[in-house]
Chain A
Amino acid sequence: MDLIVGADVGGTFTDLVLYDPGSGSVGVHKTPAAGNPAETLVRGLTELCARAGVPAGDVDSLLHGTTIATNAILEHDGAVAAFVTTRGFRDVLHIGRHQRPQHYSVMQDIPWQARPLALRRHRKTVTERIGAPAGEVITPLDEEEMRGVARELRDEGVESVAVGFVNSYLNPAHEVRAREILAEELPEALITCSSELFPQFREFERFTTAAINAFVGPKVARYLVGLEEELTARDMRGRLHLMMSNGGTATVTAACEKPATLLMSGPAAGVLGGRWSGNRAGRSRLITFDMGGTSADIGIITEHGIVEAPARDTWVAGYPLLVPMLDLHTIGAGGGSVAYVDKGGAFRVGPRSAGARPGPACYGLGGDEPTVTDAHVVLGRIDPERFLGGEMVLRRERAEEVVDALGGRLGLGREEAAEGVITVANSNMAGAIRERTVQRGLDSRDFALVAFGGAGPLHAAEVAEILGVPEVVVPPYPGITSAMGLLTTDLRYDAMRTVFMLDSAFDFDRVGADFVTQTAELRERLREDGVAEEDITVSRALDCRYVGQGYELRVAVGDEKLDEAGLREVVEEFHRAHEREYGHCFRGDPVEIVNLRTTAVGRTPKMDDFRGPEPTSVADARLGEGTGLFRIDGRLEEVPVRFFDRLRLPAGAAIPGAAVIFQQDTTVLVPPSWTAEPDEAANLVLKRSSDR
């Protein structure tokens, strides 16, 4: 039996989903994170299999989303790392772009100065120099000096070394040779070359990416090796693949080589889960909206696939990171976001969060500030008896107390204040979505919002309303959508390099040869992973800009070698992309081709069919009725609200708002003028029923 398991290890819970391709059935399990994450995962996996009545040894494939690298960088708890660079450039990592992250602050800390990835004592320089733009050797690498540096680092006890030479993106020879010497002198250390990771120009960003890799690498390797051992010890010998920031998976070996590509592992899986549900609902243009206790993650999917981040707009924990990744945007808005009136009298919601402890006031765990969750309780949108499937009984009176106090400061009544909390939070989230859609030339009215996470379905319809988004799709298990997303992944590897070429002086042979080399390397890697030739697909793209610009746009190209006509098409498509993105293009201006990109995907077994739980009838699903306060045409009105049990609702049963639909891991809010209807794919689809 080829069972597939998705395991998403988060901060509070590890979510697991077991999929049986034979029956199409799915088993889900949530286990609290405690102690060693590898042990937690294996324990959860054992429990999951026991519940499903299958031997753990039958798990053929374990797909894993992990926060191990993310936490290492967020908590600044990584390896003793060193950085070797060109003589004269010891402090590029420290000076950065010489810009202060905050304009108006004397007391701020700068992440790379306050929390260096490699201390200056471990930053060494060697004599060498590569020229630009040709990549010629100006000064050969002084190998003796390099060896001396390697020995110093060995004596200093570093665990991990990154090498970053100026202009190495044009010619990696010196970095490669430095790596060989380091490997000879420090055989135990992880060695990262900036040019091997992703050879893009901009030294601070590329060097930092290499240093992050060096910093998180040893911890990631220890974890993954330990996890493999645990699994083997329990006779679980299936494949272990890791979720990467680029939306694909990688083997343990590949992940250990480029641990910096794991930093968005968790949220990337959420986008995939959202895409899976949205596609099953028949929609291809999607905004994924994953809202939990402290933050909301937003991803965008068009008919061309998941939108990837522009090469230089990616940051992790305040450090720039140049790796291919999905364009994920996180904002500080969640169920635990605190609502307050600041010293100047302004009403604010978040980004500060009450977290899980003490959490919202209604948890009764000592929280005494009103949160988004408290506001929902006051408005009757969360049933205190049914929270988390009844696992935790919320204290309505605590929510009312704190919201009353807030209302007192705002001069608003209890319900008005509560509704205001939701409106401000929704407005913040809609603003963040608008930044990723309307501001990038994507009309949000052509999209459906896929809402998941514990709080996503409570806010989705109202956020959609602000954006003019006509539909909301709520996946079958909103609380474990990321784990479900893991079951839809393929192996994926990326290669890229900077070339700097004008469209008028395009070197067809060189680009052709580079693409062939990149493709061969990626294919070889997939073959080593055991992917059959027919399961491999390769795609190519060029990053282009107008000569002089500093930001590139990506244009897809075909498999065949580019010729004059093909290049003209690329340039034309670039003009169109520029017009779409910025509302403006400059036909006739010279275009510069900056990066070549190749992506290889190796198909792996995944969840292709899915059966949700058996529903019953609308009458049976009906739980009762109450009233709720909604903003209609800008005014607050009290309207009747009906309550339903999601799992019992049959497909095709249209539920007009206002309604609240409960399920174990979330609550779905259907505002007035919206209608909810379960579809055949076990999604709940919300539609705006009347155009205003």
Chain B
Amino acid sequence: MTSATNSAATRVDPITAAVVAGTLESIADEMAHKLTRMSYSSIIRESEDFGCALLDGQGRQLAESTLSTPLQSGPIPGYVRGVLRRFEELGGAIEPGDVIMHNHSYYGASHGPDVGLIVPVFFAGELVGYSVTTAHHLDIGALSPGSCGIVDAPDAYSEGLQINAIKVYEGGRRNEWVWRMLTDNIRASGLVVGDMEAQIAAARIGASRFLELIERFGLATVQDASEDLLDYSERMLRRRIAELPDGTYEAEGFVDGFLDNPDPRYSKLRVAAAVTVRGEEIHVDLSGTDPQVDLPINMPFVGTVDIAVYVVLRSILLDSAVNEHVPANSGLYRPIHISAPPGTLANPTYPAPVIARFCPGNVLAATIMRALASVMPEQVSAGTGNLKVVAYSGLRDDGSYWVYMDITEGSYGGRHRKDGLDAVDTLYANTRNNPIEDIESHYPLRVERYELRENAAGAGRWRGGQGSIRDIRFLADGGFSMEGDGNVFAPPGLFDGLAGSTGDSRLNPDTDRDVPLPPMSPYRKAAAGDVLRTVSPCGGGYGDPLERDPAAVLADVLDGLVDAESARTGYGVVIDTDARRVDERATKELRAQRATA
């Protein structure tokens, strides 16, 4: 590939390019709008754990919806490549009127529960694009109810149905037999199949809008404008990479893993990243990452590892709060190269299980951000806190399943001139929580606490974000499973900031039935009255806490986020609690003393 940095040679005039680019994004947004509103399960409609994208005839992503989560839209080109590979291997071709369902983790899918539905776009008999939606489904027929916390799956087969390039509509005709098999093998199949139908409807709308665009401008113009658009995003990323000093920057991160497993290979797993910047390209080498294991914490190389890398690099290099809007398309992948030795957590060999790959992937993203901290100190945060995801389930009186998936949050570390974000999804995840009032109206669950942690964020000139505490009580007998991380390794501080704090998970806290739970907890039964508590980690601090503005420390004390004792020990700030103000002189003395100590 030739360098595009300094030449902006384009195929169409800039005005047409702007119009086509805007239309493509608006089509993807319309797909998302329809999908969220038509879908049934809260994981899509409330948590927005879905993706929508338009691809060109070569399977390159041209646009993704702004509503959706990066871990869903990003993998979409990989799904299409996986489908094409499968057709090459076994025979098969994409025909008009087809709708292809796909979720195979070793054929580009992010993991089994994230089912892709692909509608090909034909113009004058030629395959000119793909309109694709992905979404996390509540259940995909794995060994225990729900689609998260399947942490005891020994292999890919036990993770649920492996749907590898299956035509659920063929030439416009619905393949009833496949749908019957899905319905028979999936729990809460009414919801899940309804969501799949909504995905198809949304993908079809995208396809027909894409055709309208082609009819309006002509195929050649749309294709040329698409090439320009890919080049543009690529160029924007290359410009930023070129500003970084050449070199190799390394970091390592750790995943809690299976803490209750006596075999040490299953816990405290290492993710290693060496990020090499050369000119306007980046190479990410994950050598040194621990070997794969036969429990589902391995990460699909395509669909999880690549997306974690792309998302974190663009979030710091092309941070949308700081930079121009850059269209999210496949052009952004071009300057980035990734390698990981086969047989490791970051490049597992089939049929190693991968379903609970979310947490290690986010650790990988954090590790890459950390590797680049020394050369991009103003664009990164100190250590981020990871998430926990819980599947709650039970049987109704009529024998049908209810399944509810609760995604908790993490927190960001402190940032240049800013404290960390409190209690949010981090890095490559960006879902939404489910309203408590929605949960309580529809499931036999009651949320009893949802608050920030106190006195736990990493101290720093800019402190880490606060994690959260969430308590959910079963009102009827049922069960739950959990996948999570962050109970062992506190998010590290940066530039003399202190580490944040670890998270926690336990059953029936503050009672005599208190049971600590490992963050990777396979399905277990729960009785009415049981309470599950999840505590998310607090982010690390950024910069020396002794340099924090005393007024900011005072505000935290008044807000109950830091107590006066921690203000003194952590920040060297003396608060006169009665007067609700900083004791300036005592603070000066204490800080001077601490600085020389």
What are the residues of chain A within 8 A of B559 when measuring CB–CB? 119-121
Residue B89 at the chain A interface, CB threshold 8 Å:
no
Residue A557 at the chain B interface, CB threshold 8 Å:
no
Select the residue from A132, A348, A586, A589 with max chain B CB neighbours within 10 A.
A132
Residue B26 at the chain A interface, CB threshold 8 Å:
yes
A106 touches B440 (CB 8 A): no
Which residues from 94 to 128 on chain A have a C-beta closer than 8 Å to any C-beta of chain B? 94-95, 97-100, 102-110, 113, 119-121
Inter-chain CA distance A121–B560, complex, in Å, is: 7
Inter-chain CA distance A347–B316, complex, in Å, is: 24
B422 touches A347 (CB 8 A): no
What are the residues of chain B within 8 A of A119 when measuring CB–CB? 558-559
What are the residues of chain B within 8 A of A110 when measuring CB–CB? 421, 424
A428 touches B22 (CB 8 A): yes
Residue A166 at the chain B interface, CB threshold 8 Å:
yes
**Known A119-B559, A120-B559: A107·B319 in contact at CB below 8 Å:** yes
Number of A-B contacts (CB under 8 A): 229
Stretch with Cβ within 8 A of A (4 or more), from B322-330, B343-351, B391-399, B489-497: B322-330
**Which A-chain residue is minimally distant from B560 (CB atoms)?**
A120
Residue B23 at the chain A interface, CB threshold 8 Å:
yes
Residue B54 at the chain A interface, CB threshold 8 Å:
no
B15 touches A347 (CB 8 A): yes
Residue B14 at the chain A interface, CB threshold 8 Å:
yes
**Which A-chain residue is minimally distant from B37 (CB atoms)?**
A551
A500 touches B441 (CB 8 A): yes
Stretch with Cβ within 8 A of B (4 or more), from A17-25, A85-93, A605-613, A675-683: A85-93
Residue B10 at the chain A interface, CB threshold 8 Å:
yes
Provide the B450-462 mask, 1 if CB < 8 A to any CB of A, else 0.
1110000000000
Residue among A131, A427, A586 making CB contact with B440, cutoff 8 Å: A131
Residue B36 at the chain A interface, CB threshold 8 Å:
yes
Residue A53 at the chain B interface, CB threshold 8 Å:
no
Inter-chain CA distance A113–B233, complex, in Å, is: 31
Residue A36 at the chain B interface, CB threshold 8 Å:
no
B435 touches A204 (CB 8 A): yes
A347 touches B440 (CB 8 A): no
B19 touches A424 (CB 8 A): yes
Residue A276 at the chain B interface, CB threshold 8 Å:
no
Chain A: minimal CB distance from B579 (Å): 14
A94 touches B324 (CB 8 A): no
Which residues from 90 to 140 on chain B have a C-beta closer than 8 Å to any C-beta of chain A? none
Stretch with Cβ within 8 A of A (4 or more), from B41-49, B170-178, B289-297: B41-49
What are the residues of chain A within 8 A of B23 when measuring CB–CB? 427, 431
What are the residues of chain B within 8 A of A204 when measuring CB–CB? 435
What are the residues of chain B within 8 A of A424 when measuring CB–CB? 15, 18-19
What are the residues of chain B within 8 A of A434 when measuring CB–CB? 26
What are the residues of chain B within 8 A of A100 when measuring CB–CB? 421, 424-425, 430
Q: How many B residues face the partner with a CB closer than 8 A?
A: 92
What are the residues of chain A within 8 A of B418 when measuring CB–CB? 107, 109
Residue A423 at the chain B interface, CB threshold 8 Å:
yes
Residue among A91, A132, A167, A412 making CB contact with B423, cutoff 8 Å: A91
A435 touches B18 (CB 8 A): no
Select the residue from B235, B415, B430 with max chain A CB neighbours within 10 A.
B430
What are the residues of chain B within 8 A of A341 when measuring CB–CB? 14
**Which A-chain residue is minimally distant from B436 (CB atoms)?**
A203
A583 touches B449 (CB 8 A): no
Residue B191 at the chain A interface, CB threshold 8 Å:
yes
Chain B: minimal CB distance from A153 (Å): 14
**Known A110-B421, A119-B559: A89·B431 in contact at CB below 8 Å:** no
B379 touches A107 (CB 8 A): yes
B201 touches A583 (CB 8 A): yes
Which residues from 156 to 193 on chain B have a C-beta closer than 8 Å to any C-beta of chain A? 190-191
B441 touches A132 (CB 8 A): yes
Chain B: minimal CB distance from A202 (Å): 4
Residue A391 at the chain B interface, CB threshold 8 Å:
no
**Which A-chain residue is minimally distant from B328 (CB atoms)?**
A104
What are the residues of chain A within 8 A of B315 when measuring CB–CB? 103-106
Residue A215 at the chain B interface, CB threshold 8 Å:
no
Residue A201 at the chain B interface, CB threshold 8 Å:
yes
Inter-chain CA distance A113–B465, complex, in Å, is: 11
Inter-chain CA distance A569–B34, complex, in Å, is: 24
Inter-chain CA distance A166–B243, complex, in Å, is: 50
A343 touches B17 (CB 8 A): no
What are the residues of chain B within 8 A of A109 when measuring CB–CB? 321, 418
B29 touches A435 (CB 8 A): yes
Residue B471 at the chain A interface, CB threshold 8 Å:
yes
Residue A420 at the chain B interface, CB threshold 8 Å:
yes
**Which B-chain residue is minimally distant from A95 (CB atoms)?**
B423
What are the residues of chain A within 8 A of B19 when measuring CB–CB? 423-424, 427
Residue B535 at the chain A interface, CB threshold 8 Å:
no
Inter-chain CA distance A584–B208, complex, in Å, is: 15
A106 touches B379 (CB 8 A): yes
Residue B236 at the chain A interface, CB threshold 8 Å:
yes
Residue A617 at the chain B interface, CB threshold 8 Å:
no
Chain A: minimal CB distance from B74 (Å): 10
Which residues from 522 to 541 on chain A have a C-beta closer than 8 Å to any C-beta of chain B? none
Residue among A91, A106, A546 making CB contact with B40, cutoff 8 Å: A546
Inter-chain CA distance A421–B26, complex, in Å, is: 20
Provide the A341-381 mask, 1 if CB < 8 A to any CB of B, else 0.
11111111100000000000000000000000000000000
What are the residues of chain A within 8 A of B40 when measuring CB–CB? 546-549
Residue A550 at the chain B interface, CB threshold 8 Å:
yes
B452 touches A98 (CB 8 A): no
B560 touches A586 (CB 8 A): no
Residue B266 at the chain A interface, CB threshold 8 Å:
no
What are the residues of chain B within 8 A of A435 when measuring CB–CB? 26, 29-30
Residue B254 at the chain A interface, CB threshold 8 Å:
no
Residue A582 at the chain B interface, CB threshold 8 Å:
yes
Residue B362 at the chain A interface, CB threshold 8 Å:
no
A346 touches B17 (CB 8 A): yes
Chain A: minimal CB distance from B448 (Å): 6
**Which A-chain residue is minimally distant from B317 (CB atoms)?**
A104
Residue A289 at the chain B interface, CB threshold 8 Å:
no
Inter-chain CA distance A131–B415, complex, in Å, is: 40
Residue among A95, A347, A423, A547 making CB contact with B450, cutoff 8 Å: A95
Which residues from 22 to 80 on chain B have a C-beta closer than 8 Å to any C-beta of chain A? 22-23, 26, 29-30, 33-34, 36-42, 45-46, 48, 66, 69-70
What are the residues of chain A within 8 A of B422 when measuring CB–CB? 94-95, 113
Residue A173 at the chain B interface, CB threshold 8 Å:
no
B36 touches A166 (CB 8 A): no
A344 touches B232 (CB 8 A): yes
**Known A110-B424, A344-B236: A103·B321 in contact at CB below 8 Å:** no
Residue B590 at the chain A interface, CB threshold 8 Å:
no
What are the residues of chain A within 8 A of B442 when measuring CB–CB? 133
Residue A493 at the chain B interface, CB threshold 8 Å:
no
Residue among B10, B13, B319, B425 making CB contact with A98, cutoff 8 Å: B425
Residue B381 at the chain A interface, CB threshold 8 Å:
yes
What are the residues of chain A within 8 A of B48 when measuring CB–CB? 99
A582 touches B38 (CB 8 A): yes
Inter-chain CA distance A91–B440, complex, in Å, is: 18
What are the residues of chain B within 8 A of A91 when measuring CB–CB? 423, 450-452, 468
Residue B561 at the chain A interface, CB threshold 8 Å:
yes
Q: A203-B437, A424-B19, A584-B201 are in contact. List 12 more A-B contacts (CB 8 A).
A: A90-B451, A103-B70, A105-B315, A107-B418, A167-B437, A201-B438, A343-B236, A344-B233, A346-B21, A431-B23, A582-B37, A582-B201
The 7 nearest A-B residue pairs measured at CB: A345-B8, A550-B45, A548-B40, A347-B14, A120-B559, A88-B449, A132-B440
Can you report 12 A-B residue pairs in the complex whose CB atoms are below 8 A from each other?
Answer: A95-B433, A95-B468, A103-B70, A201-B438, A203-B436, A347-B14, A347-B15, A348-B18, A439-B33, A551-B36, A583-B201, A586-B194
